[in-house]
Amino acid sequence: MIINNINPVLFKIGFLQIRYYGLIYALGFVLAYFFLRYQIKKGRLTLDNKQLDDLLFYLLIGVVMGSRLFYAIFYSPYLMFTDFLGLFRIWEGGLAFHGGLIGAVIAVYLFSKKYKIKIYDILDAIVVPGILGLALGRIANYTNHELYGYVTNVPWCVMFTDVIGCRHPYQIYAGITHLIVFGILWFSYSRQKIKGTTFWNFVLFYGIFRFITDFFKVEDKFFGMGVGQIASIAMIGIASYILLKKIIKEKEN
């Protein structure tokens, strides 16, 4: 048994709280910045420094807005009516991946249209550090005492300070699968011949692992599945279809 008694607030100055949650997510953007800088240096991305800064700004806005709105609509709709200002307190947690992905794709689309850059050049590159950022995000969920698993008696179960029972560490399960997907994407991107395959591999394998790990997650279920699992089924189906089309088209050429 593991006891999680981590204080989610690193330090506090007056009304200002610095939480592990926000710092860990910020680290994800820092990793993305240096990875993209490296790809620019290698010539795989044709961006200058200003464009890179703009891209990260677009991504920051798209990811935060998309993930927060998705979370509010599908996980905590009460925020829209009883605590509207709570929508803006993202440091307290509550960011949904599927909304963040939609927001990121929209942001990249707008950015690529503005600078006349092929969208897959960017999408293929950003998902590699992006999945690492998601792994860090699961650590942030752990420090923030959120996204619990079901009560269990496995030796590695975790006692959280604000919920009853020793539980599956869903956050850790998810973080480990993200690292596996990172390995797949690193391999895919380093050997990619067909544009878009790394991005759609991300969509496919994230969807598969998310569907599996969410069986351990405590949340409202619809027909035995959570919102994330239902969305992940859509991800698996769309990614499988597009990857298959790309493979067939490549063989025909």
Higher pLDDT, 42 or 96: 42
Higher pLDDT, 69 or 184: 184
pLDDT tens-digit map of 227-236: 899 999 999 9
Residue 248 has pLDDT above 80, yes or no: yes
| pLDDT recorded at residue 86 | 57
Tell me the pLDDT of the chain averaged across its residues.
Answer: 88
Higher pLDDT, 20 or 238: 238
Say if residues 168 and 160 touch (Cβ distance below 8 Å). Answer: no
Burial class (CB in 10 A: 0-12, 13-18, 19+), 253: exposed
Burial class (CB in 10 A: 0-12, 13-18, 19+), 131: buried
- Please indicate, yes or no, whether the overall pTM of this predicted structure exceeds 0.95: no
What is the count of structural domains for the chain? 1
Encoding tokens for residue 197? Answer: 């395959």
| pLDDT recorded at residue 240 | 97
Domain span including residue 108? 2-252
What band does 13 get if pLDDT is binned at 50, 70 and 90?
A: confident
| pLDDT recorded at residue 236 | 97
Say if residues 224 and 159 touch (Cβ distance below 8 Å). Answer: no
Of all helices (H) and strands (E), which one includes residue 13? strand 9-13
Residue 23 has pLDDT above 90, yes or no: no
pLDDT tens-digit map of 77-104: 666 666 655 555 655 556 788 898 999 9
pLDDT tens-digit map of 116-156: 999 999 999 999 999 998 998 888 888 888 888 999 999 99
| pLDDT recorded at residue 77 | 66
Q: What average pLDDT score do residues 32-43 get?
A: 92
Q: Give dist(CA 131, CA 250) in Å, integer.
A: 27
Residue 253 has pLDDT above 80, yes or no: no
Question: Which residues are CB-neighbours of 24 under 8 A, at least 6 positions away?
Answer: 136, 137, 139, 140, 143
